[in-house]
Structure 1
């Protein structure tokens, strides 16, 4: 399946699941409050299938699978027969109307919990939160290769994904954070990461790299891919050699080679490069060559490039038993909701770029395809985040959204009467304008990401 078709398919799956569950929340609570539901539709447009339930509701699957809706009996939307007025939505007490409106976002939060529970029970393959290389402020904090980060503040980091997300969020506030670290010798220490020293203007999507952390699983194996003719390694090293040490210093990744070669070059004279070749261990004598790199910067080289490396195998799994996964899913749902609220606050205050906060359907579709390719647990995790996002967006006090209707009902409670038709119409126009603006920003960000 092509990326385009895959992205489109998984976007439809995601929207179908999330919006249907959202509308089911409205439907379920409306029925419990005695409201007559005229239609429950999955999708928009012309119904492809429809049937009538014993409850009098018409159930439909429509042609445009981009959501759904619930149509309730309401005197403001059509004529209601006198004997059914008590079943109309607008005739219900205000607390029942608020419950029906709030049920949609709450259903999305419940769905997020269920998805996260399923993800934890299935088990999400990942990578261990082990430091491969530490530079910049990560090195200032004392982090070293082989350190395993157990927690950032009070947030446990069982995998690299949790650590990377927690670091990215913490970096937005430019405040120092404490890392609980298990060192290679088994001892546990606390390292203070000075995020206040991060340079200004860095891309929020690349904060982990700016911190100076490279995870162990992204280290390039120290395997020779090619040897350049006329360089010190020509005729000495061969394609496929695994370099294990340079001048008696161990080499664990290709990233270790350049600084060790530089030290050997500054020392002067030849040094021993130890390699594994066809199951044998060899010690080969080499003298680095001084050359001019890009920009005229001098450097010491052997004349080798690394072998292409595929995706490394996962070395960690985020998995819990069915019982232990219940409180963990509750905590994670709450954590994601708090982080999204904080992110909106940061965007409003200008502390984070709106470009990286508001995403449109193109970005969501590409992300859905990517997460689906990683496996069912990753896709459930993605759906959970989307479900929380849908819940919080719908609770924004914008007319036409659930939060806007709740705002109307709160005003009604204060003034002790429903808002007039004119006020409602003005609110609708304002709400539509705000939604159109958000959609325009989302599409703009999508196009910007595609171009970049």
Structure 2
């Protein structure tokens, strides 16, 4: 619980503060007077004023931050202060300052992706499991053990890359060309005919619905018990168990259950050791567990999944980071449009409880997973703030667009006030819906 809360506070604090820093950085370069930059909200704990007159503050509630600018010059102000007021800036500068926050979030996501690509990450190979009957993958002829090598001519090195390349075609529907490498290293090309399959609030994976699933982790021999049945049969650490008596063992649980059900009964294990495949005969020893005889072979059984190190050069890392950010941003906008049209359930909207849960889960997995989580949430914050809803940055940009179309005449203040109240009501309604969805998931 403590890790989940800490990971959530760090994520939200970092991303919102970075958003506000985008506003601050551009405002300073546009000559706008910034009165305060606060990390956190509420009572100020520490403060310092720089030579430009900006107060830098650390506040008590670490859930983000804010930038306070000089909106209007006070009565009797000199010309320099009047020029430094935000509302006296040319339209282009006001647009730049407002847009800088969401853009900062998108650039942060691209930077995280770029660093991860340079750093290199271990990712599972795109080895496919057996597709369910009558799914598009099964009808196209995909078989268990096929490795996905390319999607629509775009090479993929790992399952995460394959998922991302497939997500667009699957949500849009239509045909997608796949290049596959079989277990015997034979290459073939198949065409999948897909219907539009949108993400579902119940957790249904659109790729799995199309029959595209990652092969389960295979059972692998770990540490051996000296003098045990496994050692006597000739098993060695790192051996992979493919089948027992000709029956494939899809998971560690399947293998352990098979062994336990056959005490003192010879079993033929199909084993892969590096590039060699052969059979061994093993007879599990009998032990009593809850007064019931079960089989044991005296070996640790672990889950093995083939992995590949995905690492890109500097230019490729930067290009991939920018491309991923753009693709995910467009995908988010498309999903929002599908919600408005009713094609995607509003139950997909998540609030702080779900975000905190994912923050904790990714933090437990490791730094790489947590950084990817930060990038995704940063994209969400950037896209959300660009929506043309009054009170959000996108709402201000909408007012500026109308001002430009009106020949430089601002939107009447009364219209802005009504629109802002409407926008606030909409944002509050979305927040309530997100919290309702969060608690619905917790208690169902």
Residue 93 of structure 2 is matched in structure 1 by 96
User: How far 1:97 sits from its partner (Å)?
Assistant: 0.5
Query: What does the per-residue CA deviation read over 1:280-316, in whole Å, with 9 as the maximum and x for residues that have no partner?
Result: 93289xxxxxxxxxxxxxxxxxx999x9976545612
SS at match of 2:207: helix
User: How far 1:274 sits from its partner (Å)?
Assistant: 1.6
Query: What does the per-residue CA deviation read over 1:192-232, in whole Å, with 9 as the maximum and x for residues that have no partner?
Result: 22333979999563333333344224456799xxxxxxxxx
Residue 6 of structure 1 is matched in structure 2 by 3
User: How far 1:58 sits from its partner (Å)?
Assistant: 0.4
SS at match of 1:216: coil
CA contact (8 A) 1:120 1:318 kept: yes
Q: 1:418 to 1:213 in 2, by over 3 A?
A: closer
Cα root mean square deviation, aligned = 3.5
User: How far 1:50 sits from its partner (Å)?
Assistant: 0.8
In structure 1, C-alpha distance between the alignment counterparts of 2:164 and 2:11, rounded to whole Å: 22
Residue 227 of structure 1 is matched in structure 2 by none
In structure 2, C-alpha distance between the alignment counterparts of 1:414 and 1:164, rounded to whole Å: 43
SS at match of 2:405: helix
Q: 1:95 to 1:243 in 2, by over 3 A?
A: closer
Residue 181 of structure 1 is matched in structure 2 by 180
In the alignment, which of 23, 39, 43 is matched to residue 42 of structure 1? 39
Residue 406 of structure 1 is matched in structure 2 by 397
Q: Does 1:16 align with 2:13?
A: yes
CA contact (8 A) 2:219 2:241 kept: no
> What TM-score comes out, normalization by structure 1 length?
0.78
Residue 291 of structure 1 is matched in structure 2 by none
In structure 2, C-alpha distance between the alignment counterparts of 1:79 and 1:41, rounded to whole Å: 26
Residue 161 of structure 2 is matched in structure 1 by 162
Query: What does the per-residue CA deviation read over 1:383-428, in whole Å, with 9 as the maximum and x for residues that have no partner?
Result: 1111111111000000110000011111112223122221121111
Query: What does the per-residue CA deviation read over 1:6-26, in whole Å, with 9 as the maximum and x for residues that have no partner?
Result: 111111111111111111111
Query: What does the per-residue CA deviation read over 1:73-94, in whole Å, with 9 as the maximum and x for residues that have no partner?
Result: 1128x66723411110001111
In structure 2, C-alpha distance between the alignment counterparts of 1:201 and 1:73, rounded to whole Å: 45
In structure 1, C-alpha distance between the alignment counterparts of 2:197 and 2:165, rounded to whole Å: 16
CA contact (8 A) 2:98 2:396 kept: yes
SS at match of 2:188: strand
Q: Does 1:141 align with 2:137?
A: no
In structure 2, stretches of 5+ residues that fail to align are 223-239, 259-265, 272-277, 284-293
In the alignment, which of 394, 417, 438 is matched to residue 430 of structure 2? 438
Residue 268 of structure 1 is matched in structure 2 by none
SS at match of 2:195: helix
CA contact (8 A) 2:243 2:249 kept: yes
Query: What does the per-residue CA deviation read over 1:111-143, in whole Å, with 9 as the maximum and x for residues that have no partner?
Result: 111111111122233211101322322221111
CA contact (8 A) 1:130 1:147 kept: yes
Q: 1:154 to 1:276 in 2, by over 3 A?
A: closer
Q: 1:242 to 1:187 in 2, by over 3 A?
A: closer
Residue 28 of structure 2 is matched in structure 1 by 31
Aligned length: 398
Q: 1:408 to 1:214 in 2, by over 3 A?
A: closer
User: How far 1:448 sits from its partner (Å)?
Assistant: 1.9
CA contact (8 A) 2:219 2:249 kept: no
Q: Does 1:418 align with 2:415?
A: no
Q: Which moved more, 1:340-349 or 1:433-442?
A: 340-349
In structure 2, C-alpha distance between the alignment counterparts of 1:102 and 1:62, rounded to whole Å: 25
Counterparts in 2 of 1:51-200, with a 5 A limit?
Answer: 51-75=48-72, 81-83=77-79, 84-136=81-133, 137=135, 138-153=137-152, 156-196=155-195
Q: 1:44 to 1:273 in 2, by over 3 A?
A: same
In the alignment, which of 255, 268, 275 is matched to residue 274 of structure 1? 268
Q: Does 1:380 align with 2:380?
A: no
User: How far 1:332 sits from its partner (Å)?
Assistant: 1.4
SS at match of 1:215: coil
